Amino acid sequence: MKMYLSNIFTNPEMQDKYMDILVSSFLPLVKGAFYYTIPLTLITFAIGLVLAVLTALMRLSNVKAFQWIARSYVSIIRGTPLLVQLFIIFFGLPSIGVTINPFYSAIIGFSLNMGAYNSEIIRAAILSIPKGQWEASHSIGMTNFQALKRVVLPQATRVSIPPLSNSFIGLIKDTSLASTITYTEMFRKSQEIAANNYEFLLVYSEAAFIYWVICVGLSFIQDRVENRLDQYVAK
Amino acid sequence: MITVKGLNKSFGDLHVLKNINMNVDRGEVVVVIGPSGSGKTTLLRSLNILETPEQGEITIGDQSIDFSKPVKKKQVVEFRKQTGMVFQNHNLFPHFTALENVMEGPVTVQKISKAKARERAADILTKVGLGEKLDSYPHQLSGGQQQRVGIARALATGVEVILFDEPTSALDPELVGDVLDVMKELADEGMTMVVVTHEMSFAEEVADRVIFMDQGAVVEEGPPEQIFQHTQEPRTQQFLNRIRK
Quick one: pLDDT at residue B143?
92
Helix (H, G, I), strand (E, B) or coil at A32: helix
CA distance B64 to chain A (A): 16
Report the 10 Å Cβ neighbour count for B233: 14
- Chain B residue numbers touching A131 (CB-CB < 8 A): none
Does B144 map to a domain? yes
Which of chain B's residues have a Cβ under 8 Å away from the Cβ of A154?
A: 95
- At residue B16 the predicted structure's pLDDT band, cuts being 50, 70 and 90, is very high
Total domains in chain B come to 1
Chain B residues in contact with A233 (beta carbon < 8 A) = 94-95
Q: Which of A62, A131, A138, A139 to mutate to test the interface with B (most CBs of B within 10 A)?
A: A139
- Predicted local distance difference test score (pLDDT) of residue A11: 81
Q: In what order do the strands lie in the sheet with B209-214?
A: B83-86, B161-165, B192-196, B29-33, B209-214, B217-222
In a domain, B150, yes or no: yes
Pick the more confident residue, A196 or A69: A69
From B77, B91, B139, residue closest to A141, measured CB to CB: B77
Confidence tier at A16 by pLDDT (50, 70, 90): confident
CA atoms within a 13 Å half-sphere pointing along the CA-CB vector of B245: 6
On the 0-12 / 13-18 / 19+ scale of CB atoms within 10 A, B105 is: buried
pLDDT at A7: 73
| CATH code, A96 | 1.10.3720.10
CA A233 to chain B, closest CA, distance in angstroms equals 6
What's the mean pLDDT in A64-88?
A: 96
pLDDT band for position A230 (50/70/90)?
A: confident
pLDDT band at B149 (very low <50, low <70, confident <90, very high): very high
Closest-CA distance, B84 to chain A, in angstroms, reads 6
Q: From the list B77, B91, B157, which residue is nearest A136 (CB)?
A: B91
Q: Over B149-178, what HEC string results?
A: HHHHHHHCCCCCEEEEECCCCCCCHHHHHH
- pLDDT of A3 higher than 90: no
User: Looking at beta carbons, which residues of chain B come within 8 Å of A141?
Assistant: 77, 80-81, 105, 109-110, 157
pLDDT of the residue at A234: 64
- Specify the DSSP element, H or E, that contains B83: strand B83-86
Query: Which ranges of chain B does DSSP label H, i.e. alpha helix?
Result: 40-47, 73-80, 98-104, 114-127, 143-155, 173-188, 200-206, 224-228, 234-244
Residue of B nearest to A152 (CA): B93
Cβ-defined contact of B50 to A139 (cutoff 8 Å): yes
Inter-chain residue contact B92 with A136, CB threshold 8 Å: yes
Contacts of A48 (CB under 8 A, 6+ apart): A110, A111, A112, A113, A114, A115, A118, A171
Task: Note whether A139 contacts B94, CB cutoff 8 Å.
Answer: no
CA-nearest of B30, B115, B156 to A136 is B156
Question: What is the Rg, in whole angstroms, of the alpha carbon atoms belonging to chain B?
Answer: 18
Cα-based angle B175, B179, B185 (whole degrees, multiple of 5): 145
pLDDT bucket at A231, cuts 50 / 70 / 90 = low
Separation of alpha carbons A156 and B96, rounded Å: 14
pLDDT of residue A106: 96
Residue A71 DSSP label: H
For residue A221, how far is the Cα from the chain centroid?
A: 16
Closest Cα in chain A, distance from residue B138 (Å): 9
CA distance B31 to B93: 27
A54/chain B closest Cα distance in angstroms: 22
B73/A135 Cβ within 8 A: no
Interchain proximity A231–B94, CB inside 8 Å: yes
Distance, CA of B202 to CA of A1 (rounded, Å): 84
Distance of CA A181 to the CA centre of its chain: 17
Residue among A130, A150, A232 whose CB faces B104 most closely = A150
Residue B78 forms part of a structural domain: no
- CA dist., res. B245 & res. B243, Å (int): 6
pLDDT digits (tens, 9 = 90+) for B95-133: 999 999 999 999 999 999 999 999 999 999 999 999 999
For residue A91, is pLDDT > 90?
yes
Smallest CA–CA distance from B159 into chain A, residue: A140
Q: Which residue has the higher pLDDT, B82 or A232?
A: B82
Cα gap B44→B9, rounded to integer Å:
12
Residues 6+ apart with CB under 8 A from B139: A231, B94
A162-188 pLDDT, tens digit each: 999 999 999 999 999 999 998 988 999
CB A26 within 8 A of CB A206: yes
What pLDDT was estimated at residue B174? 87
- A99: burial class by Cβ within 10 Å (0-12, 13-18, 19+)? exposed
pLDDT at B217 over 90: yes
Measured over the CA atoms of residue A97, residue A102, residue A104 and residue A106, the dihedral's sign is positive
* Domains: count for chain A: 1
For A36, the domain range is 1-231
List CB contacts (< 8 A) between B95 and chain A: 154-155, 158, 232-233
Within-domain flag for B202: no
pLDDT at A6: 73
Cβ pairs A/B, distance under 8 A: 72
- Quick one: average pLDDT of B154-173? 92
Whether residue A1 has pLDDT greater than 70 = no
How far, CA to CA in Å, does B110 sit from each of A139, B13, B82, B154, B227?
A: 13, 40, 12, 13, 40
Question: What's the rounded Cα separation, in Å, for the pair A148 and B197?
Answer: 30
Q: How far is A50 from chain B (nearest CA, A)?
A: 22
pLDDT, one tens digit per residue, over A117-143 is 999 999 999 999 999 999 999 999 999
Rounded to a whole number, what is the distance in Å from the CA of B155 to chain A's nearest CA? 9
Q: Confirm whether B147 is domain-assigned.
A: yes
**Per the CB < 8 Å rule, is A140 touching B50?**
no
ipTM: 0.92
Q: Taking a C-beta distance cutoff of 8 angstroms, is the pair B45, B51 a contact?
A: yes
Chain A residue whose CA is closest to B155: A140
Q: What is the extent of the structural domain holding B95?
A: 89-159
How sure is the predictor about A225, in pLDDT bands with cuts at 50, 70 and 90? confident
